[in-house]
Structure 1
């Protein structure tokens, strides 16, 4: 099913679960993890049986950001993936969802640390669930660094600018409750329950028409960079064709017949 030594992949129904799997380093990003992540995004989009993706971390943490030593290729764990990076110098940005957007919905299930590069990957996800003890933050300025994974662009578009700037300029940690209050995450659940909640949401998505779900997601992101008038025009271009699909007709029949729809992605 793919994956690498730092990124595990498994299927649960129509959901592909990608797990950052380097718990001894709080799932700090490494070359094996980035390669596995990118391959996971691509595999999900290429498999029509996959309708949603859940991203989580092993060992009680989501991701503590970049591991500069590993990314420098020190040791075999980085070196064996060096050819992938040479072949696609943009691979790490695609893996971190900076230069790639999966067409399937991505749900983040966060426990523990979700900071620096981890918080930047989070901004590339669509729906976010956090355990109540999770910690969020963009710590780069505290180390004289720049959050170049997209945060200065995406964060002010996802939460109010005053909160985005405070998070970016202070580099302080945020609790899960604070993250929910400013809109960075949508759900806070008891510790250890984030993945279960994410899978419940994924199942709700999986029960919907896949063509409709993907068109809705694409429309939301496309409209974000357009004026309202242009966004509404673009919405019609994406939305009307959905009504002509066999899945749309099946949805209407199933509603009339009071039964679950059987969508066939057609």
Structure 2
């Protein structure tokens, strides 16, 4: 488990927990954080013992967006991080889940501010839990900027367009309850419990067949913009091979024998 000075990585059973760890700056995105994030996504997908990922923030906040001063000036963290970005100019977009989608499910555990770049990263996650005092929003237009992390494309596909346009064009903050009401997040929990709830969801995912879970996630995303006919054909192509796996046989056998299944990704 690598991590960086602004991104911590730890295991909780079969879940890899990535924590944005710059609480003094409300976890604003730095280059060190972005490098750590991208490495975390890659680590999770490369390790077959990892079945889910939880993304959260330290210090009672999720992410207040991009630290433009740090990224533009001498405060960028470490020459080795700059070298990584130079070698892969797309790294920051991959870290923010704009140009990269992990094959393992990603659950966001949000407390406090999740705004600007934080809300943009959120749109790349699969399941979202927030404390009741969490705040969401895309503030870029208030500063004459453009939310270039994918929000003008993704948001209207995740929530009704009228709500997407209001969020994008007004730059106003949204409460957790309001965000849940428009479908941006799925769970609102008492403050301080978002991570625990996310880990419980992860545990339920981890108990399922990993090949089936990954195939289901892949099918949902790859068919999202297809016609129904094309999508159903793609679903069959993605789903049929799952039935031929040893895990599928183990799952049905365990059900018949009234015992927990033991999946082996085979």
Give TM class, smaller chain.
over 0.9
**TM superposition outliers: structure 1 runs of 4+ over 4 Å:** none
Deviations 1:133-161 (A, max 9, x none): 00000000000100000000000000010
Distance 2:206 2:8 in 1: 21
**3-state SS of 2:10 partner:** strand
Contact 1:73 1:82 in 2 (8 A): no
Distance 1:220 1:62 in 2: 26
Which residue number corresponds to residue 131 of structure 2? 131
Query: By how many angstroms is 1:76 displaced?
Result: 5.7
Structure 1 unpaired stretches of 5+: none
Distance 1:210 1:90 in 2: 29
Distance 2:60 2:80 in 1: 27
Query: By how many angstroms is 1:38 displaced?
Result: 0.1
TM-score norm. by structure 2 comes to: 0.99
Q: How many residues align?
A: 266
Deviations 1:144-199 (A, max 9, x none): 10000000000000001010000000000000000000000000000000000000
Structure 2 unpaired stretches of 5+: none
Which residue number corresponds to residue 42 of structure 1? 42
Pairing 1:95–2:95 present: yes
Which residue number corresponds to residue 221 of structure 2? 221
Deviations 1:70-105 (A, max 9, x none): 112413625441100000000000000000000000
TM-score norm. by structure 1 comes to: 0.99
Which residue number corresponds to residue 72 of structure 1? 72
Distance 1:173 1:55 in 2: 21
Name the Cα RMSD after superposition: 0.7
**3-state SS of 1:237 partner:** helix
**3-state SS of 1:121 partner:** helix
Deviations 1:8-67 (A, max 9, x none): 000010000000000000000000000000000000000000000000000010000000
Which residue number corresponds to residue 240 of structure 1? 240
Which residue number corresponds to residue 173 of structure 1? 173
Distance change >3 Å, CA 244–CA 132, structure 1 → 2: same
Which residue number corresponds to residue 207 of structure 2? 207
